[in-house]
């Protein structure tokens, strides 16, 4: 007995719609499917992709617009304003704000995400406590990786390293550093790698988040990755300084990143908002060079980062919106490049997060999105509504929408599912 059959699915790499048969949380067959199923849904030729993956999000400091006055003009200012707000965070407060974001992400079709959870003497382990409970609560709808994250630095805030160790002991999935916000960036990177080694977990860095290539701490991350044998287990977010390197130097560093198996996570809403603030004319975009990284075979994700706080005043937790912004901000307008942008919220982040059995092939976990469109590039062009979201073989979200066009003679009511 099959659990679910989706009929008439238009898969990204196939012209003709096919049926997907799902059992025990996995896709078991693709093609004409017969046989009994607990539930059969005809999706009528709509596009079906694997679930969206948001590789970098801060649920614990999301939705602060109503309590932080003034908007930040630099990353340092955003850190300072958020750090002040953080003094008032409680487990309950973090839980409520994080839940509101998760309740945007799940209906959008996000079936996996990596959340950075701040761990420092200001907030202690309150973020971890809140997020571990939410991770369990939301497990039927979304896999949440928790990254114990040293936003305030490690060396400049004594006690942080011990708290990171405790966070990893209580269930953090990986460890995250922020070398640009510490007194000794190289030592900071070494400590993060030492913790990753000690607990056998992946590492993720906020790095080189400036307009000019004045830090390039990523070079130390490359060295440490190779030294530790952590290829395929390290990701870097922002990496905006890479865009400012002269082409030859940029190409050389990209080759090193590729050889070290490091994934890159572009955070376009934050980077477009905070970079280029000192430019008086021809204000730069301040994004990491997405196309050059992709051309080198590096997995590149587009991720939400912050949702409505001093770092980023906007945010919907819908990865499709990032592809829409990415197309114009990173000059990726051809159908091929638009498909690359969709890969940046699906297959690439799945690789960076080391998700097992991700995709639309037999044997893959049945984490799927059914879209109100037919072609992959339409996701980028038109931000189509989602029709269904499937997690581990179960329909988790079904969208319906009703439009009444009262201006038309006689009125016209349409019920759109999706």
- The residues that touch Zn ion, with contacts defined as CB under 5 A, are 305
- Cβ proximity to Zn ion, 95 vs 305, nearer residue: 305
Pick from 271, 176, 282: nearest CA to 233: 176
- Rounded Cα–Cα distance for residues 148 and 151 (Å): 9
Q: In this structure, are residues 196 and 228 in contact, taking their beta carbons and an 8 Å threshold?
A: yes
Would you give the end-to-end CA distance of the chain in angstroms? 28
- Rounded Cα–Cα distance for residues 209 and 271 (Å): 8
- Cβ proximity to Zn ion, 18 vs 146, nearer residue: 146
- Rounded Cα–Cα distance for residues 71 and 313 (Å): 8
Element containing residue 181 per DSSP (H, E): none
What are the backbone dihedrals phi and psi of residue 33, each rounded to the nearest 5 degrees, phi first? -115, 130
In this structure, the chain runs to a length of 418
Cβ-proximal residue to Zn ion, closest one: 305
Q: To the nearest whole angstrom, how small is the minimum distance from the Cβ of residue 267 to Zn ion?
A: 6
- Cβ proximity to Zn ion, 311 vs 371, nearer residue: 311
Which three-class secondary structure string do you get for 287-306? CCCHHHHHHCCCCEEECCEC
Kind of pairing between the strands at 2-9 and 18-23: antiparallel
Kind of pairing between the strands at 386-391 and 368-371: antiparallel
- Cβ proximity to Zn ion, 266 vs 305, nearer residue: 305
Q: Residue 359, by phi and psi: left (phi above 0), alpha (psi -120 to 50) or beta?
A: left
- Cβ proximity to Zn ion, 234 vs 392, nearer residue: 234
- Cβ proximity to Zn ion, 203 vs 370, nearer residue: 203
Q: Which residues pair with 401 in a beta bridge?
A: 416
- Cβ proximity to Zn ion, 49 vs 181, nearer residue: 181
Q: In this structure, are residues 281 and 243 in contact, taking their beta carbons and an 8 Å threshold?
A: no
Q: To the nearest whole angstrom, how small is the minimum distance from the Cβ of residue 197 to Zn ion?
A: 23
Q: To the nearest whole angstrom, how small is the minimum distance from the Cβ of residue 265 to Zn ion?
A: 8
Q: To the nearest whole angstrom, how small is the minimum distance from the Cβ of residue 14 to Zn ion?
A: 36
- Cβ proximity to Zn ion, 84 vs 252, nearer residue: 84
- Cβ proximity to Zn ion, 62 vs 257, nearer residue: 62
The DSSP symbol for 281 reads S
Residue appearing with tokens 């395929």: 232
- Cβ proximity to Zn ion, 62 vs 342, nearer residue: 62
The interaxial angle of helices 160-170 and 185-199, nearest 10 deg, is 30
Q: To the nearest whole angstrom, how small is the minimum distance from the Cβ of residue 87 to Zn ion?
A: 20
- Rounded Cα–Cα distance for residues 130 and 91 (Å): 5
Q: To the nearest whole angstrom, how small is the minimum distance from the Cβ of residue 164 to Zn ion?
A: 16
Q: To the nearest whole angstrom, how small is the minimum distance from the Cβ of residue 385 to Zn ion?
A: 28
Pick from 285, 291, 273: nearest CA to 343: 291
Q: To the nearest whole angstrom, how small is the minimum distance from the Cβ of residue 112 to Zn ion?
A: 17
Q: To the nearest whole angstrom, how small is the minimum distance from the Cβ of residue 237 to Zn ion?
A: 5
Helix boundaries (H) for 301-346: 319-329, 335-343
Pick from 206, 120, 201: nearest CA to 163: 120
Q: To the nearest whole angstrom, how small is the minimum distance from the Cβ of residue 315 to Zn ion?
A: 12
């Amino acid at each position: 007995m099959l659990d679910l059959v989706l009929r008439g699915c238009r898969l990204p790499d196939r012209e003709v719609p096919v049926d997907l048969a799902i059992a025990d949380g996995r896709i078991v067959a693709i093609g004409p499917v017969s046989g009994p199923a607990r539930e059969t849904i005809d999706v009528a030729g709509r596009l079906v992709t694997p679930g969206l993956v948001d590789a970098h999000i801060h649920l614990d400091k999301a939705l602060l617009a109503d309590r932080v006055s003034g908007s930040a003009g630099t990353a340092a200012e955003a850190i300072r304003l958020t750090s002040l707000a953080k003094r008032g965070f409680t487990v309950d407060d973090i839980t409520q704000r994080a839940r509101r974001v998760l309740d945007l992400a799940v209906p959008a079709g996000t079936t996996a995400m990596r959340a950075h959870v701040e761990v420092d003497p200001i907030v202690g382990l309150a973020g971890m406590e809140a997020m571990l409970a939410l991770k369990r609560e939301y497990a039927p709808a979304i896999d949440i990786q928790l990254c114990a994250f040293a936003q305030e630095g490690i060396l400049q805030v004594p006690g942080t390293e011990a708290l990171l160790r405790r966070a990893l002991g209580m269930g953090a999935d990986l460890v995250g550093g922020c070398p640009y916000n510490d007194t000794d960036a190289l030592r900071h990177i070494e400590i993060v790698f030492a913790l990753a080694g000690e607990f056998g977990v992946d590492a993720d860095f906020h790095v080189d988040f400036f307009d000019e290539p004045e830090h390039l701490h990523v070079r130390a991350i490359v060295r440490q990755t190779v030294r530790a044998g952590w290829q395929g287990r390290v990701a870097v977010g922002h990496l905006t300084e890479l865009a400012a390197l002269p082409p030859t130097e940029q190409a050389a560093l990209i080759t090193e990143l590729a050889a070290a198996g490091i994934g890159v996570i572009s955070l376009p809403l934050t980077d477009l908002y905070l970079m280029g603030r000192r430019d008086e004319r021809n204000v730069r975009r301040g994004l990491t060079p997405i196309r050059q990284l992709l051309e080198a075979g590096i997995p590149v994700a587009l991720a939400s980062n912050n949702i409505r706080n001093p770092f980023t005043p906007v945010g919907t937790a819908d990865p499709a919106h990032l592809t829409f912004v990415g197309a114009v901000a990173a000059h990726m307008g051809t159908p091929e490049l638009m498909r690359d942008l969709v890969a940046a919220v699906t297959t690439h982040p799945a690789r960076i997060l080391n998700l097992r059995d991700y995709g639309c092939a037999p044997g893959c976990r049945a984490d799927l999105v059914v879209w109100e469109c037919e072609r992959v590039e339409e996701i980028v062009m038109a931000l189509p509504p989602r029709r269904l979201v499937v997690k581990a073989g179960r329909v988790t979200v079904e969208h319906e929408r009703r439009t009444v066009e009262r201006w038309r003679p006689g009125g016209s009511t349409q019920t759109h599912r999706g």
